[in-house]
Amino acid sequence: MIHSRRSHLQLLSAVLTGGLSSVQAVTADFSAYTDSETESFLKLGRFMSVEEIGHGVTKPLKVKLELNGLQHLGQIQTVDKALPDFYPKSGPPVPMRDCWRYNIAAYKVDRLLNLRMVPVSIARNFKSRAAALTWWVDEVMFEEVERIKKDLTAPNPESFDRQRSLGKLFDELIINIDRNLANLLITKSWNVVLIDHSRSFTAYHGIRNEANLSRCSVGLLARLKTLAASQVTASVGALLTSAEIGAMMTRRDLIVDYFEKAAKNKGADNVFFS
């Protein structure tokens, strides 16, 4: 059965207060969950099973969570290790890290910008190790690699192109060096979802790949302009260092400047969309 928003809230309240038996068969419309409700499920859910996903250099795990009769999948990443230094075109090399913390930080920054392209992710210990526990994306149709392989076109190509443009911009903002066609998901509604951000937030004060900056929404540009380092710090807490936050804010400035200049040179209608 699919719950209305009202009945969904009543169900969640019962779940969180223990009002439903753990063996009672219930279903829920998880698409109606707020971020807060999703975070609560990830935090309180009991691990029922664990299996290897089968791909991904960080060896993520798929877990089944159960909370008073409700079940949902999640992804666990425990990786936390140094990577070879990042070598920019100019300037000294910059230390890089592959870390679970960045998955959660990417979710937090995504919500500050109201993109909503990154699934909910929280910090939770797994087998005595610190980890990121990320909500498994529902209604996935395929990965981008499969779409390209099958030469499939979105029903609304313009909408899809806009989403891809925003995703690439976001990757430049957080300097995600590991975006590939397998960690870009496409849902049955042709929504783009960005997963796996453990190789992001390197403290590099430059744009890694300007070719990824093609188009931007008017709303995102406005939110980028008003984003304050204090907001980021308050949201991510200890997930990012002050150096990582400072570098991201510098990249933000460069991205805003890039698009404003591009609008003057190419025409605003060729750069911005509503």
56 band by pLDDT with thresholds 50, 70 and 90: low
Q: What is the pLDDT of residue 26?
A: 58
Question: For residue 5, is pLDDT > 90?
Answer: no
User: Which CA distances in Å does 66 have to 11, 17, 156, 201, 238?
Assistant: 14, 14, 37, 32, 28
Looking from the CA of 72 toward its CB, the CA atoms found within 13 Å total 28
CA angle 192, 268, 272 (to 5 degrees): 15
Q: What is the DSSP string of 88-149?
A: -SSS--EEEEEETHHHHHHHHHHHHTT---S--EEE--BTTB--EEEEPPSSEEEEHHHHHH
What are the pLDDT digits (tens) for 218-254?
999 999 999 999 999 999 999 999 999 999 999 999 9
What are the pLDDT digits (tens) for 91-123?
999 999 999 999 999 999 999 999 999 999 999
Mean pLDDT of the chain: 91
210 band by pLDDT with thresholds 50, 70 and 90: very high
Q: What mean pLDDT comes out for the span 28-52? A: 96
HEC secondary structure over 160-217: HHHHHHHHHHHHHHCCCCCCCCCCEEEECCCCEEECCCCCCCCCCCCCCCHHHCCCEE
The neighbouring-strand residues paired with 52 are 61
Task: Report the candidate in 234, 236, 227 with the shortest Cα–Cα distance to residue 256.
Answer: 227
Coil, helix or strand at residue 51: strand
Looking from the CA of 41 toward its CB, the CA atoms found within 13 Å total 29
What are the pLDDT digits (tens) for 69-92?
999 999 999 999 999 999 998 899
Residues 61 and 30: beta-carbon distance below 8 Å: no
Residues 105 and 120: beta-carbon distance below 8 Å: no
Q: For the chain, what are the domain ranges? A: 21-273
Question: For residue 55, is pLDDT > 60?
Answer: yes
Number of neighbouring beta carbons within 10 Å of residue 212: 18
Task: Report the candidate in 39, 202, 199 with the shortest Cα–Cα distance to residue 133.
Answer: 39
